[in-house]
Amino acid sequence: MDARPTQFRVLAFAAALAAMPVFAGCMAEAPPEELAGEPEGVESPEPTDTVDEAVAGSTVAQAAASSCSTSSVKALSLQIIAEARCLNPDAYVPITKTSNVTFGSAVFAYLEKPAADRLVAALKDNPGKSMTINSALRTVAQQYMLYNWYQNGRCSISLAAKPGNSNHETGLALDVSQYSTWKTILTNKGFKWLGSSDAVHFDYAGSGAVSYKGLDVKAFQRLWNRNNPGDTISVDGVWGPQTEARMKKSPAGGFAKGATCGSAIMYDDQNGEIEGVDEAFSRDPNDPEFFVPLPIDAVEAQGELEHEACTDHAH
């Protein structure tokens, strides 16, 4: 993104976001050392075949049954990422595109801020080495797909974490094809290599690491409630039967109403035209002009936040 000739403007309400106490009360922030003990660390590699668009009118359940690519829920996933960034802009930060990194076609190129910063530093310190990232941030919609395939013996997925429990959903994990080349380099930058059981997988456990576990689930719950006011569910970031039932019947192509802070985003392209959140979030991360806006209009979200409750019950 540093080489991008374009400029963008974001209408920012960062101070308001930082001051919202509801984030701290609802967020499960496990220290990095707790992540290593979670059984969901080892997972099958994510399928890399590409399905650019969901089948028209299909639900997530239908997409899971008819495809073997998490790209079939790309549009819904982009909405989940945007909504999550409305809640916490540091949780999912776009990875700066350097000349020696390539992202897989189905990859959402985000990590939490300290992990993204350290990864980019590693890439810039080693310009002669190439890196291919086949998985980074994964949304709860994508994780539902993988878990469904694992449960049904489909798509060569032999192991997958239950939705809401994969390290890829926290913004701390990435899968690197050339893991042997980068293992020592990334370890020195605060990343932990998972080992031979999942050789391509690294988790950031260095300075500033926080597990944003449940943030993507909470973002989905908010999106569901916004679009289904007559069938609302608890917004607590916990994956349970009620959230699973709504995920199954959610539109793979995305909801009619997306992120609450989308109207606060403006982008100046090369022609000086203003583009919105939908186009901005759909850009190819390998495009040298790739950028993802920072949606932080806390004012629009405040009304919903005031009505959210943090509960411990499964839903």
pLDDT tens by residue, 4-29? 333 333 333 333 333 333 333 333 33
**pTM for the predicted model, two decimal places:** 0.73
Domains parsed from the chain with CATH numbers:
29-254 (3.30.1380.10)
More confident residue, 312 or 83: 83
Least confident window among 119-123, 134-138, 209-213, 283-287: 283-287
- CA pair distance 1, 19, nearest whole angstrom: 29
**What confidence score (pLDDT) does residue 48 get?**
52
- CA pair distance 213, 54, nearest whole angstrom: 26
**What confidence score (pLDDT) does residue 162 get?**
96
**What confidence score (pLDDT) does residue 14 get?**
34
What one-letter code names the amino acid at 67? S
166, 172, 178, 179: CA torsion to nearest 10 = -80
143, 282, 261, 248: CA torsion to nearest 10 = -30
**What confidence score (pLDDT) does residue 260 get?**
78
Angle, vertex CA 217, rays to CA 200 and CA 203, nearest 5:
25
